[in-house]
Amino acid sequence: MKVKYMKVEDIEAAALCLLAEYGRKFGPVEKPPVPVEEILESHLGLNLGFDDLPKMLKAPDVLGATWVRDRRVLIDQSLDPSVHTVKEGRYRFTVAHEVGHWELHRHHFLDNPAQASLFETTPEPSIVCRTSSRKDPMEWQADAFSGYLLMPKEMVFSAWKERNGSLDHYVAEKEIAGLSARWGLAEDERPAVDIARRMALDFKVSGQAMQIRLIGLGLIKTEDPGPGLFSG
C-alpha cells in the first residue's frame, strides 16, 4: 500500500500527542517504561493477542499484524515476554509499531471502500509486519513512531542527565571498536555500548533501539569530531 510521505517531526508529534492523551486519562507518564500495551488496549481500546503468525499468515518472518476493522492486533508468540523474558524489548517495539500503524495508517483501510470490502470478506489482516519489509514506507513510518513513543525525547534527556550528571554527549567510538573486535562483528553491525544497554533496561527496549535513539538525539557520537573541527 502506498502511503504519503511524512516528516519525522510529524511522526514524533503524533507519538507525543498519543502519550499525552493516555496521560490525561490514566495519569501522566513521566518516567520510563512507557506503558505501550496499556496505550493499545485501554486507551485505544484495541484487542491484543498472541498467535503463531508465520503459520497463520504463511510467511516466515511476521512479527505483528493489525486487523483495522476488527480493532485487533496480534503479535507473534515467539515474542511473548511472559514466556521469553529476553524478548521484552523486541515485543514492546512490535506493539508500539502496531500502535503506529493504528495512529498513522488506519484511515487508509477505513476510508477506502475498495480496501474495506477486500478485508471485510476475508480474514486477512489489513497490515502484516514482516522483518523483510522494513524498507516499505508504511513500515518505516511505524518503526519511527515506535521509537518516538517508547523513548520520548524529554524522557531520554532526563534519564541521561540522571545517569551522567549533565547533557554532555559521549563519544563511543573506542568502546564500539573494542566491542566489535571482541565479538568479531562486521563493520556494519554496531554493538550497543554500556550506557545504551543500561538505559535500555529502564525503557524496556533493546540495547540496539536505545542506542539508535541516543545517537539520533546526539547524546552518543560514534565518531570523535576532534577538537579543531568547529574552532578552526
Partner 1 sequence: MPGNKEFGERIRQLREAKKKADPKFSLRQFAAAVDVSATYLSKVETGQFAPPAAETIKKMAKLLGTDADELLALAKKTDPELGNIIREQPKAMADFLRTAREKGLTAEDIQKITEKIRQGKKP
20, 21, 47, 162: residue in contact with partner 1 (rule CB under 8 A) = 47
Q: In the complex with partner 1, which residue's Cβ is closer, 77 or 158? A: 77
> Interface with partner 1 by CB under 8 A: which range of 49-57, 151-159, 165-173, 183-191?
49-57
Give me the 8-27 binding string for partner 1, x by CB under 8 A, dash otherwise.
------------------x-
Which stretch, 45-53, 133-141, 155-163, 209-217, contacts partner 1 (CB under 8 A)? 45-53
Closer Cβ to partner 1, 62 or 196, answer by number: 62
Q: Return the residue of 29, 81, 171, 180 that touches partner 1, per CB under 8 A.
A: 81
CB of 62 to partner 1, least distance (A): 15
Backbone angles phi, psi at 158, to 5 degrees: -70, -30
Identify which of residues 37 and 173 has a Cβ nearer to partner 1 in the complex.
37
Are 232 and 222 contacting, i.e. CB atoms less than 8 angstroms apart? Answer: no
Size, binding site for partner 1 by CB under 8 A: 17
For the chain, the straight-line distance linking the first and the last C-alpha, in angstroms and rounded, comes to 49
User: Which residues 6+ apart lie within 8 Å of 118 measured at CB?
Assistant: 124
Q: Which of 12, 59, 77, 128 binds partner 1 (CB under 8 A)?
A: 77
User: Which residues within the stretch 165-204 sit at the binding site for partner 1 (CB under 8 A)?
Assistant: none
Please report whether residue 32 would count as binding partner 1 according to CB under 8 A.
Answer: no
CB 71 within 8 A of CB 45: yes
Q: Which is nearer to partner 1, 81 or 216 (CB)?
A: 81
**Smallest separation, CB 99 to partner 1 (Å):** 13
Find the shortest distance in angstroms from Cβ 205 to partner 1.
16
The CA distance from 147 to 108, in Å, is: 22
Q: What is each CA distance from 27 to 19, 138, 145, 203, in whole angstroms?
A: 10, 31, 22, 18
Q: Which of 45, 123, 165, 218 binds partner 1 (CB under 8 A)?
A: 45
Q: Which residues form the interface with partner 1 (CB under 8 A)?
A: 26, 35, 37-38, 41-42, 45, 47-51, 77, 80-83
